Amino acid sequence: MYDNDLSDVVAADKAHVWHHLTQHKPFETSDPRVIVEGKGIHVWDAKGTRYLDAVSGGVWTVNVGYGRESIADAVREQLVKLNYFAGSAGSIPGAKFSEKLIEKMPGLSRVYYCNSGSEANEKAFKMVRQIAHKRFGGKKTKILFRERDYHGTTIAALSACGQPERHMQYGPLTPGFVEVPHCLEYRKQWDVEDYGQRAADAIEEVILREGPETVGAICLEPVTAGGGVITPPKGYWERVQEICKKYEVLLHIDEVVCGVGRTGTWFGYQHYGIKPDFVTMAKGVASGYAAIACLVTTEEVFDMFKDDASDPLNYFRDISTFGGCTAGPAAALANMEIIENEGLLENTTQMGEYCLTKLEELMEKHKVVGDVRGKGLFLGAELVADRATKEPVAEKLAQQVVAECGAQGVMIGVTNRSLPGFNNTLCLSPALIATKDNIDEITGAMDVALTRVFG
Ligand code: PLP
């Protein structure tokens, strides 16, 4: 369809673009897939091949699907009126989206705009540090993070990253970030009945080891995404909350992936009765129609930054230039309206349950599928060479499954590519508009691909 232009595009791309997460040596001689169009849950490449996109733009982003004219119209209308003004002044779409967002997040009240998940997390880290200086004599500055969670690509966010291969060779990292053990029950670290309680107790052990007077916050994904689609074990979050309360540790929930519908509730934390102090979000906030991220916090935290007017350092001395772009909140507002008007939270819950059943069927049929898990339309199937030892399959075999699905016109993902011991969780996160037929097509392609690769 676009063949005439394609060779020029690919030549320019190969000559000048440095791609994300790409080993460029093999890329140079490859025939890259150039995606040029999207509608609903499908995308088309430049050769005219249609794919069912079961990864929402590759990285869990396009929650409401492609080609949404109401979002494009809202953005256009806003851009011709006022595209930008610095976030210190505020904007009409910023105020409107904040109000709508806060309606969905009881207990929270303040929205801070920026433009990437990493940046939103950094804002929370800075707030925690400033609170430590203002309230705790500069002591409660440490921030805990969990093995296998990911919080972003900037150096401090990377320092809070529980996937070692992501920060290898990027040191020295930022001091003051401390890891706690992961909570994936499939790969048990303790042989106990109440696994959720035990995995959370491990956080208390770290706090006691570090000294509670030094620990300011803990940053956790509600359901871990890139670390292998890890749903928390029963009782885990209740215990985490108790521990946070006991030691005055602020609870920062990273909803960059789960946020805005992905798991069937507005936010992943809402499944578990969590009362967070900070929530960060990015990808699904505007489904990729505009760049927007935000940090949402409580009035209590907000008040700490204005309680002593005589102190010239009293306020949050932070800015994000593009946090003042108006297209982001305009798109986010239209995105949220689509989710409400089309009942997409309900659809996500129903289709997520259906998809999990289909994945369970695959696990029955294919020995290589060791575990399936997920929440809403955020699902994973972990591949193991041996069910007894849980030895992961070779990374290239998992990649082959992804490629075989692609050959059938279905894009799926695989998490954790080079993380020793834990890689190879096939990952599904189709748009929240997915139908039963879409799920059948996705899991059908996986069935064929698993047979082709593993027999
Ligand atoms: N937090 C989580 C859980 C993520 O998965 C990601 C990105 O994948 C980020 C933070 C970083 O977001 P961004 O790439 O927008 O900086």
Average pLDDT of the segment spanning 371-396: 95
Using 50, 70 and 90 to split pLDDT, how confident is the model at 3? low
> Dihedrals φ, ψ of 112, to 5°?
-115, 120
- Give the residue range(s) of CATH 3.90.1150.10 domains in the chain: 33-62+344-454
Using 50, 70 and 90 to split pLDDT, how confident is the model at 415? confident
Q: Where are the alpha helices (DSSP H) in 291-326?
A: 299-304
Average pLDDT of the segment spanning 291-320: 92
Q: Which residues pair with 143 in a beta bridge?
A: 177, 217
Average pLDDT of the segment spanning 321-338: 97
Confidence (pLDDT) at 420: 64
Confidence (pLDDT) at 310: 83
DSSP class of 213: G
- Give the pLDDT confidence of 161-185 residue by residue, as tens digits: 999 888 889 999 999 999 999 999 9
Strand ranges across the sheet with 35-39: 35-39, 42-45, 50-53, 410-411
Torsion, CA 187, CA 281, CA 297, CA 337, rounded to 10 = -130
Q: Is 150 in the pocket of ligand 1 (CB under 6 A)?
A: yes
Token pair for residue 452?
């082709």
Whether 160 and 117 have beta carbons less than 8 Å apart is answered as no
Task: State the helix-helix crossing angle for 327-341 and 344-365, rounded to 10 degrees.
Answer: 80
Q: Is the ipTM beyond the 0.90 threshold?
A: yes
Q: Is 152 in the pocket of ligand 1 (CB under 6 A)?
A: yes
Confidence (pLDDT) at 74: 98
Whether residue 418 has pLDDT greater than 70:
no
Q: Is 434 in the pocket of ligand 1 (CB under 6 A)?
A: no
Whether residue 142 has pLDDT greater than 70:
yes
| Window from 5-9, 328-332, 398-402 with minimum mean pLDDT | 5-9
Confidence (pLDDT) at 343: 98
Give distance in angstroms: CA of 115 to centre of ligand 1: 11
Confidence (pLDDT) at 407: 97
Output the residue whose Cα is nearest ligand 1's atom 1: 151
Residues 6+ apart with CB under 8 A from 128: 140, 141, 143, 216, 217, 250, 252, 278
- Give the residue range(s) of CATH 3.40.640.10 domains in the chain: 69-341
The overall average pLDDT reported for the chain is 95
Closest CA to 141 of 220, 216, 244: 216
CATH superfamily, with its number, for domain 33-62+344-454: Aspartate Aminotransferase, domain 1 (3.90.1150.10)
Instruction: Report how far apart, in Å, the C-alpha atoms of 266 and of each of 247, 269, 407 are.
Output: 28, 9, 34
Give distance in angstroms: CA of 152 to centre of ligand 1: 5
244/234 Cα distance (integer angstroms): 18
Torsion, CA 121, CA 418, CA 388, CA 198, rounded to 10 = -20
Q: Indicate the fold that domain 69-341 takes in CATH.
A: Aspartate Aminotransferase; domain 2 (3.40.640)
Using 50, 70 and 90 to split pLDDT, how confident is the model at 416? low
Whether 264 and 349 have beta carbons less than 8 Å apart is answered as yes
Q: Is 151 in the pocket of ligand 1 (CB under 6 A)?
A: yes
Whether residue 419 has pLDDT greater than 70:
no
Using 50, 70 and 90 to split pLDDT, how confident is the model at 2? low
Residues 6+ apart with CB under 8 A from 405: 411, 412, 442, 445, 446, 449
Token pair for residue 27?
């890329």
Confidence (pLDDT) at 399: 92
Residues 6+ apart with CB under 8 A from 67: 38, 39, 40
Give distance in angstroms: CA of 155 to centre of ligand 1: 13
445/215 Cα distance (integer angstroms): 47
Give distance in angstroms: CA of 149 to centre of ligand 1: 10
Token pair for residue 144?
């805990």
Helix (H, G, I), strand (E, B) or coil at 169: coil
Sign (positive or negative) of CA dihedral 39, 43, 45, 51: negative
- Give the pLDDT confidence of 50-102 residue by residue, as tens digits: 999 999 999 999 999 999 999 999 999 999 999 999 999 889 999 999 999 99
Angle at 370 (CA atoms; ends 349, 161), nearest 5 degrees: 75
- Give the pLDDT confidence of 236-277 residue by residue, as tens digits: 999 999 999 999 999 999 999 999 999 999 999 999 999 999
